[in-house]
Structure 1
């Protein structure tokens, strides 16, 4: 089947699709580790949607919105679901003349510090068994890197990504809200899953910086037209050494 949308996966998790669709998705999730990770991520989502829209309620035309709310389902009535809530929230935003996706993503960006938060959520699902079965032959790795290069305007090689104590396992393109993110995943012999991720950026070059996400250490920086991050369970000092090594090779 075609790659399912997040909306379809949410409906799957909420039990709102028919038996035939569920059977197809069950099979696809079993066969596709990346799709399985997406489902796990969506199933554990606990974004505080209500808080995101509380501030907007203060700006809303209350008379018109109250009339709509009186006719809408409530949590106590049938028909209430996560998809209904998202739709109702978007409708409310349109009523006050605001584009829902831009406002919500701006709020979400403030909560998660943009793309690094999304990568951190995703990497929190990884265990060594996610990666240890993947093929690591040179031809496959070069083909995967060509896909990344073509999408993001890079010129990566397996030599550039060779890290001490860690084996390159997979390079792939991800996408969130139309923004492409490349992920090069390694299996570190001592610390497990390690990922180098990159997306386009207009911030110019910025020095290495540190943060923590989901009990993982992160080193991030920007280089001309791209933003980079290295995330894993490695100690901060070791992670910085690896990030500096990658940066030097990229600039060689």
Structure 2
């Protein structure tokens, strides 16, 4: 079903330009095909936050030094500009360009640290209870799925480690974005709907719990020495942190 829906129609879906029947057809296709959800994510990432990046450049710009450079400009009454002034101006432009590039790259690097959580939130925003409720929940299937995650991410996971009160373990799968694998372990909460524990490789070091909201969902995230983790769902933040505490204790044991 993935290959039958052209990118143009997916873009129209993201821009809310389809009628109800067309949207329902794509919703049903996404529920059956995780790769179609990834295509939607990829197309949605074309809206890069350039304005935010350049707003940050404006805040970091060396205004005083730039103003001092402007103050050195000769007035119209002064003699014709000489070669030395042109060389100085050219050097200033080069330095300013390099500075802007470095500021932009630095801003990009800070955004990449939480980019994977935004990708997961974009994907989870497409989930409804019907996405998961028909999936089998036998332990043999769960172990086979977890083995695939272990092989890609250097983990050793068991169904017993991942059980949660009330929420039912429904599926474990490996996703990938720009060559970076992301493991997703999906649950179905009878009250709050789909939720997921997700993990990717990370070398940023151990980090305590932190909280945030993305796409109308609550997120609790943390990191150990090799992996970054997040628990996402519509559950109250306090409930998610309680579950994350249980999971972290089991996973680090």
Match of 1:77 in 2: none
Contact 1:165 1:189 (C-alpha < 8 Å) held by counterparts: yes
- The alignment's TM-score, normalised by the length of structure 1, stands at 0.65
**Inter-partner Cα distance in structure 2 for 1:30 and 1:126:** 9
Match of 2:7 in 1: 10
Match of 1:207 in 2: 208
Cα 1:204–1:41 shift into 2, 3 Å: closer
CA offset at residue 12 of structure 1? 6.0
What per-residue deviation string (whole Å, max 9, x for no partner) do you get for residues 104-132 of structure 1?
99739628832111111111111111111
Match of 1:47 in 2: 47
**Inter-partner Cα distance in structure 2 for 1:51 and 1:240:** 33
What per-residue deviation string (whole Å, max 9, x for no partner) do you get for residues 173-206 of structure 1?
0001010000000001111011000000001211
**Inter-partner Cα distance in structure 1 for 2:215 and 2:221:** 16
Structure 2: segments with no counterpart, 5+ residues: 13-25, 56-96, 98-103
Contact 1:172 1:184 (C-alpha < 8 Å) held by counterparts: yes
The answer to whether the aligner puts 1:173 opposite 2:174 as a matched pair is yes
Structure 1: segments with no counterpart, 5+ residues: 16-25, 56-95, 97-102
Contact 1:41 1:125 (C-alpha < 8 Å) held by counterparts: no
**Inter-partner Cα distance in structure 2 for 1:124 and 1:175:** 17
**Inter-partner Cα distance in structure 2 for 1:211 and 1:239:** 11
**Inter-partner Cα distance in structure 2 for 1:14 and 1:234:** 30
What RMSD in Å do the two structures reach over aligned CA positions? 3.4
Greater mean deviation of Cα atoms: 206-215 or 37-46: 37-46
Cα 1:104–1:36 shift into 2, 3 Å: farther
SS of structure 2 residue aligned to 1:146: helix
Contact 1:52 1:104 (C-alpha < 8 Å) held by counterparts: no
Residue correspondence of structure 1 range 143-154 to structure 2 within 5 A: 143-154=144-155
Q: Greater Rg, structure 1 or structure 2?
A: 2
- The alignment's TM-score, normalised by the length of structure 2, stands at 0.65
Contact 2:32 2:131 (C-alpha < 8 Å) held by counterparts: no
SS of structure 2 residue aligned to 1:239: helix
The answer to whether the aligner puts 1:128 opposite 2:129 as a matched pair is yes
**Inter-partner Cα distance in structure 2 for 1:221 and 1:30:** 29
